[in-house]
Amino acid sequence: MLLSRSYGAWLVLFLLISPAFIAPSMSQLDSPWAAKKRNMREKVRKMFYHAYENYMKHAFPHDELKPLTKSFTDSLSELGNLKLQHLPRNYNGSALTLIESLSSLVIMGNNTEFERAVTWLSENLTFNIDARINLFECNIRVLGGLISAHILATDSTNRLVQGCYKNQLLNLAEDLGRRFLPAFDTPTGLPYAWVNLKYGVMEDETPETSTSGCGSLILEMGALSRLTSDPRYESAALRALRKLWSMRSSLNLLGTTLDVTTGEWIEYSSGIGAGVDSFYEYLCKAYILFGKEDYWRMFHSAYLAVQKYFRHGPWYHEADMRTGKATYWQLTSLQAFWPGLQVLVGDIGAANSSHREFFYVWKKFGVIPERYLLDHQMLHPTEKYYPLRPELAESTFYLYQATKDPWYIQVGESIVNSLNLYTKVKGGFASVRDVTTMQLEDHQHSFFLAETCKYLYLLFDDSFLVDRNYIFTTEGHPLPILSSWHERLPEAYIPTNWTYAKSEQQTRRASAMSRQVCPAIALRSGYVVQQVESACHIPDSRADHRCFSDEECGIDSSTCRRRSCSMAGYCGLWIQ
């Protein structure tokens, strides 16, 4: 049974980030569902290695695999040609799929292959090349992949043999981050969509970019700043994000494309799909990762606007940012990430409702088409393809973590079976060109290994997450939630916050900020029991914690942070 809307609203985020707290790990369970999960886990493992090994055999060290012809494509030619040292002068690849696969290898327990891949990249990858790259794509795929892999490589659980790794991936990430910075040198602080890694922004570069392109950089660049103690990366991404937010309409809606030099909108219609999707995602996840209140305020306002102007039952159409009037009634495959984001804020009822509709479309066609016209109940005539996208699997994973409803295991099983039935070929997994005929296209995107296989694997086996707190970037790269990365209130931010805890030996100052305790909880120090009550605590207006606005919520007793009202109408600290 699904969690009730009210229960999920105040508890689900903590449980999602700490899945080990929800229920025993899979190895601790002995039930028919546990057996099914083990079986499905192995099916997904075989899928991943079928794709990975064919890439390594037929395409490595180029970017991506062409599974039908067992050849390769240097897809980063669209992002830029990130060349490798010690290879022929005309080589154009960057081992993109290898970079994208690093965290998946760790999640699946293959530390040996992870170490081998890290060593190879450390010795071969360079960004000192005359190459025009797409800032957004290179950020989420390459920078995010390198940062995540660096963190996994330095994990205390010995991801790599001690002494073998000396921050080579972080050094590469820092070098790449430095090459991003010229893109932000604009009158508005909004970055160009394209930048040359060697020469910066070209003289005739287009000033047009998307909302996602300039508003979805904060996780990777913020993490880079925290790891290197160089604030430039986070500052550049944050300045762009704040400028973008200042361009919202009076309805708190944003458009899809804009001019980075003038700060003017080009396309006023937008939704939660392509061009905007990860903007919403990164506002929420940046608050989880860094704890900055600004991110939550922006997300909260944006989320309310989406629910008010885009939502129609379980579906989300597009609307004009200026008027809120509907423009396009269509489902796009990228929208399927939205239920997973709703889980993060505790809106389980809405997440489940939309997810079921997306899965209905999946079942109808066997996979989910790129675009489906809701007003005509038909496929878009030219966008009938399915490029192995991960979004439905991603939301299925989040909803199962939040509810433990076995129905989501069945959804995952259906996705796995469809992928094996329709897209698996001898040379890997191929994209679907037309979902009505299941005609295949000769392309295995790197995100199939970075995200699709990863989320399916985690759905059936979340042991990687036990006793660890992670958020996943929009490309599926895990970043740890660390207290040292969070903004904190000063230890004694107002004098009246202090109470005193007395013992036989001494009297010392104590507060909710220093002791992290609720009112009137007994603390034992040696043989002395102390009663410490937070002076900052203000109860919620109602004993059942129901609310209609933030004004009805009080101040938390253990952190002295103001509580807020969730979408479901309950007070709480939604993101710790």
The answer, as to whether pTM is greater than 0.85, is: no
- Interval 465-480 mean pLDDT: 95
Which two structure tokens, joined as six digits, stand for 375?
């007003």
Radius of gyration for the alpha carbons in the chain, expressed in angstroms and rounded: 24
Torsions phi, psi for 253 (to 5 deg) = -110, 155
pLDDT tens, residue by residue, 150-191: 999 998 775 566 678 899 999 999 999 999 999 999 999 999
Lowest-confidence segment of 199-208, 219-228, 515-524, 540-549 by average pLDDT:
515-524
pLDDT band, residue 87 (cuts 50/70/90): very low
DSSP track, 320-365: ETTT--B---EEEGGGGGHHHHHHHTT-HHHHHHHHHHHHHHHHHH
* More confident of the two residues 29 and 139: 139
Lowest-confidence segment of 71-75, 211-215, 572-576 by average pLDDT:
572-576
Q: What pLDDT score does 279 carry?
A: 98
Lowest-confidence segment of 429-433, 495-499, 545-549 by average pLDDT:
495-499
Distance between CA atoms of residues 386 and 527, nearest Å:
65
pLDDT tens, residue by residue, 46-62: 999 999 999 999 999 99
pLDDT at position 9 over 60: no
* More confident of the two residues 98 and 521: 98
Tell me the CATH class for 34-485. mainly alpha
Return the residue matching tokens 């960004």.
127
Lowest-confidence segment of 198-202, 415-419, 529-533 by average pLDDT:
529-533
pLDDT band, residue 504 (cuts 50/70/90): very low
- Interval 532-544 mean pLDDT: 64
pLDDT band, residue 31 (cuts 50/70/90): confident
Show the beta-strand stretches assigned E in 5-99. 64-66, 71-73
* More confident of the two residues 378 and 525: 378
Q: What pLDDT score does 563 carry?
A: 80
Q: Which residues are annotated as a binding site for Ca(2+)?
A: 474
So which residues are the catalytic ones? 137, 277, 370, 391
* More confident of the two residues 82 and 5: 82
Please report, to the nearest 10 degrees, the dihedral formed by the alpha carbons of residues 152, 155, 157, 160 taken in order. 60
pLDDT band, residue 538 (cuts 50/70/90): confident
In DSSP terms, 523 is beta-bridged to 530
Residue 495 is given by DSSP the state: G
Q: 521-525 and 507-510: which strand pairing?
A: unpaired
Q: Which residues are annotated as a binding site?
A: 474
Residue-range domain boundaries for the chain: 34-485, 536-575
Dihedral sign computed on CA atoms, order 493, 495, 500, 505: positive
Residue 422 is given by DSSP the state: I
* More confident of the two residues 403 and 30: 403
Residue 36: name the closest of 464, 465, 463, 459 by CA.
459
pLDDT at position 523 over 50: no
Which two structure tokens, joined as six digits, stand for 169?
């991936």
The residues, ordered by sequence, that sit 6+ positions from 479 with a Cβ below 8 Å of its Cβ are 147, 148, 151, 219, 223, 289, 470, 471, 472, 473
